[in-house]
Each structure stands twice: as structure tokens, then as C-alpha cells.
């Protein structure tokens, strides 16, 4: 029979769960069990970044790092001061995985394969003595009167012979990500759970007037999302899709506006500055230069500035009744003013989220006010810990959500190992006092 009594049980075989289990075991805690409901742990790591795994982001200052988290930014200052991007790079490097920075700041394994990240985590867990049960999910948690937890599991048929569906744990870490089971267990254990809403998603435009421009990328653009409950702004790369807009700027915009968008049914007004923030004077100078330097050329063959997509430029011309085949010298002033106005701000009606339910993370989870973020331990239930996406923390795209997983897992694992050692020391001193009293 496999053991039924464990020092630590980690529910969730994702990045946060693995980091916590490895850290606790490496810091001397014996009897660490990690439960993963699916046959393949670290599934999200495997598929992230198109199979490359964007491990983290090259944002080295913890104070700057927290600015990439729409929910949890202020609360993360403490954890990031102890384990941030540089620590993450060093942690993986010590275990044989080199991370390489791309021009946009994202950090990937040099192999460009997410399987390399998974291999390192699984090897580190095995080397530290962590036991992993695949196909085992936590279904019920009962608090023991003397401390610790009695756990009821659901076991897959292929799990190792001798595994019991009833086990006990001195300490329990919930790292179940966005799966509803973790939120249900946290709620049953007395925690307030902020209702989850989608975050990091694309926007669908009503009657999508940009549909013919599918595939066009503009960098940078300015975005302003106007909703009844507020306005949200972003600047960066925009991708035009068959249903609306996507790209890093859109994803970041929807992350910060996630709850407001939910409240208004994902409808509002999106204003796009195709010039990326150019002033009216700057655009006027560009148009004047084009009129004088390219006077004989047709508008469709001579854009006001080279970074402006040709397809988008022709679309703007046609939408405002300006013939693309006319020469720059023949462009009327009133048409020029209309074109400059459209390039600086065009309004589109948002009709919902993009299709396929393609949101990357959820906003919501266990309320941060009920968690001691110095240890990731529950303020409601001693011995209960949280890490990863189950907490009410979410970051923008670019490796930030993984960084929170690594950080919260590392903090929780270290705190659990230290608490166990302190508990043993206290128990040892108590036993010595009893023995000393008996001798007297």
C-alpha cells in the first residue's frame, strides 16, 4: 500500500503546484504528494506560447513588474521582492534550462520547446522526492480536530496500485488554476471567492467594418474603450481579425477592463488612433511632406508615413469618399482634414468578445484579503495554502501569469517547509520538557 499520511498534499499539477512541491521538498520537507487530475501534469505549460512556453518576462524591477497585473498589483509587491524575474531565471538555470529574451521582452527556453520546461520541473520534483499521482483529483476536504486535513480523492483506473482515495495531510496547498473545483473547495473551507470573469480576450466589432483587412498588423496604435462605467486606454500592437481586433494591445486592454466589460455585456465604443498617438500638428506635417515630395504619385501608392499599412490606408480613403487613384497634388484640403481626423480617431461599436471562448485567463478567485501573502497561508484556516491562478490575481499576456505562478508557488513551498520545521522543533521542546519533568 502507498502511504496515506502526508506532510503536504498539493492539489493541482500546474506551474504553481509543481514549484510549491519542489520548493518544500528541496527545503527539507519529507512526504510531499502532488495530485494532478489529468494524465499529463503541466498541460498548460505544454501548450502555452504555441508550444514554446513563455516562461516569464524580462521586467527586472519588482515595482515595474506589478504594473502588469490588473488584479493583485499592489499585493504582489511583497512576494515579488523575494522572488521575481531574475530569481526565476536563476532557478531554471541552476536546473539546466537557459531562458532567452526576445525583442519584445518575452523569455522562452533556448530549445523553443515547452517540453523542455516540463522536463526540468518533473526532474526537479523527482530529485527532491516529490510523489506525483496522475489521475488523482481532490474531491472533499475535512478539517481534523487536532489540526491537518482528511482528504477524499477521485482516482483514475490507471493510478498506481495501492493508492488510497482517503488520505490525510498536515498541510494542504490548493493550486488548481482556473478549474472551478478549487474555488468550490476554498469556499467550503470558509473563503470568499471573487466570481471569475474572462480576461485577456479579443473584441468583436458590430458588422465588422474592418473584416476585409483581416491579417493587417499596426504598431503602435492607441486604443480607448468607452464604457458606461469608465474609460480604458492602451497603446501597442494591434491585429485585425475576421471578427474584430486582437493583438497585445487589445489583450492588455481587455485584461484591465475585464470586470467593466462583463458588467455592460461586452458592449461599448472602441476608438482607435491608427497614428499611434501623433498630434494633429505632426500629422499635418506628414501630409504636407507627402503633398510636396510625392505630388505626382497616386494616394494608394504613397502613404503619409511608411509604417501605415497600405491596405488600411486604402480602406480609410475609400471609407471617406477619397479616390485612391488621385494624385497627392489633387487632394483637397477638406478631404485631407477628414483623413487626418480618421487616422487619429475612428470609432467602432464593440458587439462582444471574440469567438471560440479564446480567453487566456480568468479574473477572480480567492480573495487576497483572506490570504497572508508573505506565506500564501489562509487567514481563515491554519495549514491551508494557495498559489497560482486560484488566487484573485491575473496578469497581462507576455509571461506575467506564469511569473505569478512561479513566485506564489516558491513563497508557499518555502513557508510550508519552514512551518513544518518550526512545528517539529516546538514538538521536540515540548517532549523534552515532559521527559525532564518525569525524571524529576
Range picked from 153-157, 331-335, 430-434 for highest mean pLDDT: 331-335
Q: Is residue 438 predicted with pLDDT exceeding 50?
A: no
pTM value is: 0.89
pLDDT given for residue 355 in this prediction: 80
Q: Residue 282 burial by CB count (10 A; 0-12/13-18/19+): exposed, middle or buried?
A: middle
Task: State how far the alpha carbon of 221 is from the alpha carbons of 100, 170, 233, 234, 356, in Å.
Answer: 27, 53, 11, 8, 25
Nearest residue to 53 (alpha-carbon basis) of 99, 103, 105: 99
Q: What is the mean pLDDT of the chain?
A: 93
Separation of alpha carbons 305 and 301, rounded Å: 11
3-state helix, strand and coil shares in percent for the chain, rounded to the nearest 5: 40, 25, 35
In b/e form, how buried is each residue of 216-241, taking b as 16+ CB within 10 angstroms?
A: bebebbbbbbebeeeebebbbbbbbb
pLDDT given for residue 297 in this prediction: 97
Cα torsion at 213, 268, 349, 265 (round to 10°)? 90
Separation of alpha carbons 221 and 37, rounded Å: 42
Q: What is the mean pLDDT of residues 59-64?
A: 97
* Residue 164 binned pLDDT confidence (cut-offs 50, 70, 90): confident
Q: Is residue 3 predicted with pLDDT exceeding 90?
A: no
Q: Is residue 437 predicted with pLDDT exceeding 70?
A: no
Helices (H), 246-279: 248-256, 258-263
Separation of alpha carbons 76 and 59, rounded Å: 14
The residues with which 56 forms a beta bridge, in sequence order, are: 107
Task: State how far the alpha carbon of 22 is from the alpha carbons of 26, 259, 261, in Å.
Answer: 6, 34, 38
pLDDT given for residue 203 in this prediction: 96
Give the angle subtended at the CA of 287 by the CAs of 248 and 303, to the nearest 5°.
55
Percent of the chain residues past pLDDT 70, beyond the cut: 94
pLDDT given for residue 158 in this prediction: 66
pLDDT given for residue 435 in this prediction: 44
pLDDT given for residue 359 in this prediction: 52
Q: What is the mean pLDDT of residues 255-275?
A: 96
Q: What is the mean pLDDT of residues 285-293?
A: 96
Task: State how far the alpha carbon of 345 is from the alpha carbons of 152, 173, 254, 307, in Å.
Answer: 57, 49, 19, 17
Question: What SS3 class is residue 175?
Answer: coil
pLDDT given for residue 439 in this prediction: 40
- Structure confidence by residue, pLDDT tens digits, 76-117: 999 999 999 999 999 999 999 999 999 999 999 999 999 999
* Residue 424 binned pLDDT confidence (cut-offs 50, 70, 90): low
Task: State how far the alpha carbon of 72 is from the alpha carbons of 34, 313, 388, in Å.
Answer: 26, 40, 12
pLDDT given for residue 163 in this prediction: 82
pLDDT given for residue 363 in this prediction: 92
**The residue count for the chain:** 440
Q: Residue 162 burial by CB count (10 A; 0-12/13-18/19+): exposed, middle or buried?
A: exposed
Q: What is the mean pLDDT of residues 130-152?
A: 96
pLDDT given for residue 208 in this prediction: 95
Separation of alpha carbons 293 and 285, rounded Å: 12
pLDDT given for residue 436 in this prediction: 47
Q: Is residue 384 predicted with pLDDT exceeding 80?
A: yes
pLDDT given for residue 370 in this prediction: 98
Ordered by where they begin, the domains of the chain are 5-197+360-433 (3.50.50.60), 201-276+347-357 (2.40.30), 280-346 (1.10.8)
* Residue 160 binned pLDDT confidence (cut-offs 50, 70, 90): low
* Residue 281 binned pLDDT confidence (cut-offs 50, 70, 90): very high
Q: Is residue 39 predicted with pLDDT exceeding 90?
A: yes
Q: What is the mean pLDDT of residues 268-285?
A: 97
- DSSP string covering 98-112, please? -EEE-TTSEEEETT-
Separation of alpha carbons 370 and 292, rounded Å: 65
Nearest residue to 287 (alpha-carbon basis) of 319, 223, 334, 321: 334
297 close to 324: Cβ distance less than 8 angstroms? no
Separation of alpha carbons 258 and 398, rounded Å: 17
- Structure confidence by residue, pLDDT tens digits, 165-190: 999 999 999 999 999 999 999 999 99
pLDDT given for residue 1 in this prediction: 63
Nearest residue to 169 (alpha-carbon basis) of 385, 340, 431, 411: 385
Amino acid at each position: 500500500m502507498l502511504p496515506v499520511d502526508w506532510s503536504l498534499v498539493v492539489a493541482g499539477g500546474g506551474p504553481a503546484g509543481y514549484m510549491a512541491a519542489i520548493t518544500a521538498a528541496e527545503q527539507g520537507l519529507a512526504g510531499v504528494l502532488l495530485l494532478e487530475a489529468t494524465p499529463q501534469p503541466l498541460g498548460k505549460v505544454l501548450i502555452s506560447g504555441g508550444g514554446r512556453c513563455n516562461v516569464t518576462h524580462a521586467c527586472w524591477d519588482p515595482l515595474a513588474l506589478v504594473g502588469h497585473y490588473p488584479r493583485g498589483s499592489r499585493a504582489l509587491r511583497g512576494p515579488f521582492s523575494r522572488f521575481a524575474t531574475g530569481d526565476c531565471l536563476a532557478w531554471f538555470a541552476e536546473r539546466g534550462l537557459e531562458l532567452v529574451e526576445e525583442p519584445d521582452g518575452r523569455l522562452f527556453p533556448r530549445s523553443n520547446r515547452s517540453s523542455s520546461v516540463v522536463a526540468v520541473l518533473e526532474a526537479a520534483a523527482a530529485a527532491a522526492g516529490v510523489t506525483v499521482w496522475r489521475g488523482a483529483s481532490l474531491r472533499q476536504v475535512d478539517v481534523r480536530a487536532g489540526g491537518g486535513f482528511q482528504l477524499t480523492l477521485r482516482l483514475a483506473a490507471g493510478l498506481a496500485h495501492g493508492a488510497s482515495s482517503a488520505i490525510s495531510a498536515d498541510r494542504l496547498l490548493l493550486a488548481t488554476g482556473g478549474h472551478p473545483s478549487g474555488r468550490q473547495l476554498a469556499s467550503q473551507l470558509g473563503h470568499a471567492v471573487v466570481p471569475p470573469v474572462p480576461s485577456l480576450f479579443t473584441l468583436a466589432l458590430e458588422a465588422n467594418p474592418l473584416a476585409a483587412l483581416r491579417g493587417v498588423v499596426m504598431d503602435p496604435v492607441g486604443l480607448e474603450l468607452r464604457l458606461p462605467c469608465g474609460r480604458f486606454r492602451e497603446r501597442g500592437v494591434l491585429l485585425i481579425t475576421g471578427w474584430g481586433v486582437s493583438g497585445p494591445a487589445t489583450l492588455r486592454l481587455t485584461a484591465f477592463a475585464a470586470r467593466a466589460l462583463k458588467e455592460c455585456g461586452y458592449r461599448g465604443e472602441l476608438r482607435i488612433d491608427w497614428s499611434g498617438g501623433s498630434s494633429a500638428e505632426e500629422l499635418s506635417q506628414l501630409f504636407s511632406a507627402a503633398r510636396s515630395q510625392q505630388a505626382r504619385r497616386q494616394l494608394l501608392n504613397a502613404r503619409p508615413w511608411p509604417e501605415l499599412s497600405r491596405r488600411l490606408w486604402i480602406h480609410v480613403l475609400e471609407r471617406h469618399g477619397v479616390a485612391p487613384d488621385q494624385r497627392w497634388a489633387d487632394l483637397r484640403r477638406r478631404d485631407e482634414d477628414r483623413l487626418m481626423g480618421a487616422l487619429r480617431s475612428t470609432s467602432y461599436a464593440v458587439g462582444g468578445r471574440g469567438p471560440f471562448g479564446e480567453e487566456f485567463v480568468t479574473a477572480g478567485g480567492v480573495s487576497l484579503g483572506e490570504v497572508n501573502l508573505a506565506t500564501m497561508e489562509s487567514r481563515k484556516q491554519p495549514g491551508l495554502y494557495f498559489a497560482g491562478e486560484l488566487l484573485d490575481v491575473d496578469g497581462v499576456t507576455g509571461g506575467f501569469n506564469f511569473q505569478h505562478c512561479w513566485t506564489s508557488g516558491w513563497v508557499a513551498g518555502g513557508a510550508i517547509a519552514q512551518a513544518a520545521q518550526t512545528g517539529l522543533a516546538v514538538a521536540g521542546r515540548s517532549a523534552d520538557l515532559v521527559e525532564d519533568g518525569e525524571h524529576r
